[in-house]
Structures are given as structure tokens and as C-alpha cells.
Amino acid sequence: MQKIKIERSKKGFPCIWECGGGYTNTGEATIIASQSGGPKKAIYIRNRGPLANDNHALIPVDVGDYIIYANHHRGDFEVTVYKIVRIEEETAVIEQTNCFSRGEWDVELPAHLEIPVMAVKQKATCYHCREPHYIIE
């Protein structure tokens, strides 16, 4: 298990940014999925300032939600799926559930996470991405 830094909304809700995007041959992205693998509603969507491959949507998180991270070099992807185990003041305790590298998953990916994994890959290859890819509009 590991800890990651979280942000708090003005009302004190724990949140994580959907962020990232692609460059010419590389890219990385982070998205948030609910316990069922679906998109979540963003508290705030950035639409000004430097947006390319930056933070795009501030999403409230709960225990059981998934944080999915992808990076690629020329389409050769590494994808890591984390589940939030506990939320503390400034951090979230997460555990890795699945990892894709060298063309295969270490543990078979659950069916409900297939769509968010496709979304994080799409965001990581979106050239100079300026908007969220996996939220409820």
C-alpha cells in the first residue's frame, strides 16, 4: 500500500485531479472511476490558464474508487489501476489491483474496468489534451 496526496474542495471533500495528455510520441494520464467503474461528477472543470496536459477536472473521491494511471512511449502502454483503501487528512491510502506492461495484465482486468482503462489510454494519447475525458457531464 502507498499514500498519495489529495486535495480538499472548499467544502472539505477529498478530491483528485483528472489530468494528463499526450505529446508527439509519449504521454501520461490519470483518471478517476467509481467503485462500479463508471465516471464521476466533477466539482470543478478548468477552462482557462495553461491547460495542455495539465489538471482538467477536480473529482471527489470515496473509499473504493479507482485511480487509473497510464503512460506510453510510441503506443507501448503501461497502465496501473489503484483502489482507494482509506482517506486521511491530506492523503489517500491506495493499493495496486492491476498492472499492464509488456503487453499483458499481471492479474486479469475486471470487466467493469475495461471502459475506464480505454479512456485513460485515449487521454494519454490525446495531443496536448485540454479537457477531461472520463467524467459525468
Q: What is the pLDDT along the chain (137 residues), one digit of tens a residue?
A: 899 999 999 999 999 999 999 999 999 999 999 999 999 999 999 999 999 999 999 999 999 999 999 999 999 999 999 999 999 999 999 999 999 999 999 999 999 999 999 999 999 999 999 999 999 98
Contacts of 22 (CB under 8 A, 6+ apart): 53, 72, 123, 124, 125, 126, 127, 128, 129
Look up the domain containing 18 and give its range. 2-136
The count of domains in the chain is 1
Backbone region of residue 58 per phi and psi (left: phi > 0; alpha: psi in -120 to 50; beta: other values): beta
- In this structure, what C-alpha cell is assigned to residue 61? 473521491
**37: three-class secondary structure by DSSP:** coil
Please tell me the predicted confidence (pLDDT) of residue 104: 94
- In this structure, what C-alpha cell is assigned to residue 114? 475495461
What is the reported pTM?
Answer: 0.95
Please tell me the predicted confidence (pLDDT) of residue 1: 87
> Measuring CA to CA, which residue among 61, 58, 67 is closest to residue 17?
58
